[in-house]
Amino acid sequence: MVDGAGSVEGAYEDSQGRIYSLNMINNRIQRWAHDFKGQVYDYALLQGGKEGVVLLGQLSTEIQVYTQMSVNAELIKRNGWNGSYQNIVTTSSSNSSTIVFIHSSYDAPQEVYFIDNIDQLNIAQAVTSENKLFTERNLPKGKSHRWSNPDDQMEIEGVLLYPPEQFEQKNLPLFVLIHGGLYEADLNIFRASWYRCAVMIATKGWLVLQPNYRGSPGYGDEFLRSIRFHILSKPGKDILYGVDALVRDGIADSTRLAIGGYSYGAYLTGWLITQTTRFNAALFGAGAIEHVADWGLTDIPLSSIYYFGGYPWQTSNLYQEEAAIFQLDKVRTPTHIVVPGNDIRVSSTENYILERALNEINVPTKLIVLPGEPHGLGNNPWHEKIKIREELKWLRQYGNFYMKLVKRQENDMVQNSIDNKKRKLQNEITTIDKYQLRFRFENLTDGILYEIFEYLDMYHIYKGFFNLNKRFNDLLNDSNFLIKINILPMSKSNFESYKKNIVTPNRQRINIFRLSNQFIAENIFSSPNIILRYINLEILILENIDAKYLDKIINYLIDLPKFYSLSLSIVDYIQTLDLFVQIFRLSRLKYCKIIYQRKIIQQSSSIKRNKYSRSPIQCLIINGDFPLSLLHNLLSCLPQLQHLLINSIVNSNYIEKEEFFHIQLKYLKKLSLRLYYIQFDKFEKIIKKFFRSIEILRLTTFFDEAYLNAKRWEELILSSMPNLRIFDIYHEGSIRNNDLTYHDIINQFNSSFWFEKKCFFAHQHDSQQRLNRGVFFSTNPYRRKDFTFYWKSAKQICSNISEMNFNSVKHLYVYGEYATQNDINYFPNVTQLTIQHYLKH
């Protein structure tokens, strides 16, 4: 008996793995498991073949055990564990038999198991513990995930691997890991290698999608063969529609997307970054970006001839249409490239061409050559480690790039001052140019140079002027103007030089300091005595800091006389919210922004108050899940609070009595909350207990239709928010009251009460089939910077929807399939567009 892929009946066609027997007497070939839709991976004989065969067959994302007594007998699936079985071996004697196999699943590593007969699969005992260390740490958890390609309604499946302790969480950064092949599949199996690296990537906080696009086995021969003639475009769309579905369902964050693959997975990666700019980073390993040279240089040229239906000169149109090289001008995604130095499967030339092209169009790229390695690596284990290490570094650098953009604090006075300085500076330079006709940069006065320097990063000033001449050296080191330091990603030698020549000698002049990771922070703030020299430090921005390092940082900052603004981005998962107590020890702090991710924990979390708990913070921005039950403890520490923004208030994961005792926050005027699964009853309580003084309320809610009860809002505003000037609501959900329609509910907001308050509202529906569900929001004006817009279908679905302009919107999310020309005029100031569905014109 033999197993293998490809048909032996009639004209050759690629197929999934099959099993055949050959009669050595009459040369008759017979196919076993003839009706099995999936792929046969392995087989073994039972009792030397007397009791038939045992097969390992893949259907969907699992490899299970099957038996068949004879070639025409029924194929029987055996009861076993979920996951995947591998490498089955049998032995037999006259009195006994032995079956040995490997088994694993998403979060259960491979071990070898032993049974006496096939009926013991689900009670098998492990005879090895080679991967015990994996079981002693938090591992990613996975599940299968399905979506459809709307082009032909083909159902596609893949594997979702969640970061440790974040199973089925929402709004996660997404990495799309594309398997090679062509004919491979991602399974319910534990893999942790340089090639199957989803576990490592998920452990770094990414949700990993491993799509089984068409061409993958386990879904039938027709599904497998449908890739022919369209080896990139068809599977590429399968993958993009999968990403769309995850974003649409709120599982993946559309602003934190990355992609990568090796071998054929890199072919697809290179293709997809020419089709969309949605990905922040790409990992490309041993792939090709065109198919003619690939056919000429590979050790398996027949595969290209089969996929494209002929030689390059016979089907040249297909060779060109499915090639990324002719569309590389569209690429904007920073791309990391790994090349085996001795690859005869995919020529390294393909990777060099990609690197050169990306450099030509100024797309960040990095190429690493692994010398002496074949396509599958394996000659030097260090090369495998280097590959994973460098790719993870690339994801850290670019995968969450949007988070690393430094946003100006919302301060109109500061912005006006900047605008005035720009006008003044332009007038002074224009005057010089007018009377001197021509001038050199060196002729500008020190005052003008200082104003120019205000618009440049200090590191760029240092690199451009420090070694130019003595005058500029003195300007940088011997003046009294305050400087802003932003430690950009740079080499160790450049950092040490910058620190030696600029940072250390000018500590007393630094008023704004931004550090991108904790190692730089430790290097610069190496002791309390050193940090005390930063006497003018006012604003500190710390990114990618470990929570455990926070206490040391706070100790450093306590005694700085002018320090008032702290922005923190914590890189690891925090278990408690005691970090707020640490921050509240800063006695001069006025502004605090904190970004964190919180572990899913079962025991109670708290904010422990002490004598340092009363903080002078006036503006607090929390970007992370915050339990409703701790809101009282938090607010009781903030008597001077003027502006509060919490982007995710959630119910606790444990049963705890929520304390809502009255707190007087007489200075709090602006409140912005995003509530997840918080009922309106609870929201009413916190308004009455904490927020009587607010003048501006911005609220985002989901699901509970009580938020659409206009009468309750009128009563709440009159009784508990008498000073409210701006009421900005955004609610997404459905109506379950069978007696009233969605329009009946929202029309209650058309009363004279809302008209007198100058509060106006609009709505839209997210589906033609679901008119009892919609998005209800404040308008006239719409004040938010982003908006999710659902295109009206070709047929008007709701006559109550009116057209309006959204002048404040900068980032537009579009859902739907139909667009009209006039719709574009709704959003005149949009600078960023995210399309969740492909438009039909």
Q: Which amino acid is at 841?
A: H
The rounded percent of the chain whose pLDDT value lies above 70 is: 85
Q: Which amino acid is at 350?
A: E
CA atoms of 83 and 253, how far apart (whole Å): 28
> How many other CB atoms sit within 10 Å of the CB of residue 458?
21
pLDDT band at 800 (very low <50, low <70, confident <90, very high): low
Give residue 131's Cα distance to chain centre: 29
Residue carrying structure tokens 């332009």: 426
Residue 3 half-sphere exposure toward CB, CA atoms < 13 A: 19
CA atoms of 76 and 69, how far apart (whole Å): 9
* 435-444, 586-595, 686-695: range with lowest mean pLDDT: 435-444
Mean pLDDT for the chain?
A: 85
CA atoms of 234 and 216, how far apart (whole Å): 12
pLDDT digit string, tens, across residues 3-54: 555 555 556 788 999 999 998 899 999 999 999 999 999 999 998 888 899 9
SS3 for 794-825, per residue?
A: CCCCCCCCCCCCCCCCCEEEEECCECCHHHHH
pLDDT band at 435 (very low <50, low <70, confident <90, very high): very low
Q: Which of 722, 713, 742, 737 is nearest to 800 (CA)?
A: 742
Q: Is the pLDDT of residue 464 over 50?
A: yes
pLDDT band at 450 (very low <50, low <70, confident <90, very high): confident
pLDDT digit string, tens, across residues 742-751: 888 889 999 9
Q: Is the pLDDT of residue 797 over 80?
A: no
Q: Is the pLDDT of residue 657 over 80?
A: no
* 30-34, 122-126, 447-451: range with lowest mean pLDDT: 447-451
Q: Give the pLDDT score at 795.
A: 42
Q: Give the pLDDT score at 438.
A: 42
Q: Is the pLDDT of residue 422 over 80?
A: no
- Please give the structure tokens belonging to residue 79: 């009861």
Q: Give the pLDDT score at 79.
A: 94
The answer to whether residues 115 and 44 touch, using CB atoms and an 8 Å cutoff, is no
* 238-242, 810-814, 823-827: range with lowest mean pLDDT: 823-827
| All residues at 6 or more sequence positions from 465 whose CB lies less than 8 Å from its CB, including other chains | 472, 473, 475, 476
Most confident of 29-38, 600-609, 783-792: 29-38
Q: Is the pLDDT of residue 215 over 60?
A: yes
CA atoms of 138 and 441, how far apart (whole Å): 58
Helices marked H in 538-608 — which ranges? 550-557, 579-583
> Across residues 223-228, what is the average pLDDT?
94
The answer to whether residues 607 and 630 touch, using CB atoms and an 8 Å cutoff, is yes
The answer to whether residues 775 and 766 touch, using CB atoms and an 8 Å cutoff, is yes
pLDDT digit string, tens, across residues 724-741: 999 999 999 888 776 778
User: CA-CA-CA-CA torsion for 807, 809, 814, 817, nearest 10 degrees?
Assistant: 0
Q: Is the pLDDT of residue 356 over 70?
A: yes
pLDDT band at 408 (very low <50, low <70, confident <90, very high): very low
pLDDT digit string, tens, across residues 288-331: 999 999 999 999 999 999 999 999 999 999 999 999 999 999 99
CA atoms of 172 and 256, how far apart (whole Å): 8
Q: Is the pLDDT of residue 722 over 90?
A: yes
Selected residue with higher pLDDT from 644 and 496: 644
Q: Give the pLDDT score at 220.
A: 95
Q: Is the pLDDT of residue 145 over 50?
A: yes
The answer to whether residues 315 and 226 touch, using CB atoms and an 8 Å cutoff, is no
CA atoms of 720 and 712, how far apart (whole Å): 12
Q: Is the pLDDT of residue 822 over 80?
A: no
> Across residues 353-367, what is the average pLDDT?
93
- Please give the structure tokens belonging to residue 746: 């929202």
CA atoms of 734 and 753, how far apart (whole Å): 24
Q: Is the pLDDT of residue 415 over 60?
A: no
The answer to whether residues 16 and 6 touch, using CB atoms and an 8 Å cutoff, is no
The answer to whether residues 676 and 650 touch, using CB atoms and an 8 Å cutoff, is yes
Q: Is the pLDDT of residue 410 over 80?
A: no
Q: Give the pLDDT score at 714.
A: 95
> Across residues 406-424, what is the average pLDDT?
44
Q: Give the pLDDT score at 794.
A: 36
Measured N-to-C along each axis, helices 458-465 and 470-477 cross at an angle, to the nearest 10 degrees, of 160
Q: Which amino acid is at 550?
A: L
Q: Give the pLDDT score at 821.
A: 54
Query: DSSP character for 78?
Result: P
Q: What is the phi-psi region of residue 65: left when phi exceeds 0, alpha when psi lies from -120 to 50, beta otherwise? A: beta
Most confident of 43-52, 231-240, 514-523: 231-240
- Please give the structure tokens belonging to residue 262: 């090796």
* 216-230, 434-448, 654-668: range with lowest mean pLDDT: 434-448
- Please give the structure tokens belonging to residue 266: 């890199």
Domains of the chain, by residue range, sit at 2-134, 138-404, 406-455, 469-563, 566-575+585-694, 728-841
* 267-276, 325-334, 524-533, 710-719: range with lowest mean pLDDT: 524-533
Q: Give the pLDDT score at 409.
A: 37
Selected residue with higher pLDDT from 692 and 828: 692
> Across residues 809-823, what is the average pLDDT?
69
Backbone angles phi, psi at 686, to 5 degrees: -70, -30
> Across residues 513-528, what is the average pLDDT?
75
Number of alpha helices (DSSP H) and beta strands (DSSP E) in the chain: 24, 35
> Across residues 558-571, what is the average pLDDT?
90
Selected residue with higher pLDDT from 829 and 238: 238
Q: Is the pLDDT of residue 436 over 60?
A: no
CA atoms of 565 and 569, how far apart (whole Å): 14
Q: Give the pLDDT score at 347.
A: 95
Q: Give the pLDDT score at 417.
A: 45
> Across residues 72-78, what is the average pLDDT?
95
pLDDT band at 602 (very low <50, low <70, confident <90, very high): very low
> Across residues 481-492, what is the average pLDDT?
83
Q: Give the pLDDT score at 483.
A: 86
Q: Give the pLDDT score at 424.
A: 53
Could you tell me the fold of the domain covering 138-404?
Rossmann fold (3.40.50)
Q: Is the pLDDT of residue 403 over 50?
A: no
Task: Using DSSP, state whether 840 is helix, strand or coil.
Answer: strand
Selected residue with higher pLDDT from 263 and 527: 263
Q: Which amino acid is at 121?
A: L
Q: Give the pLDDT score at 194.
A: 92
Q: Which of 458, 476, 454 is nearest to 467 (CA)?
A: 476
H/E element holding 112?
A: strand 108-115
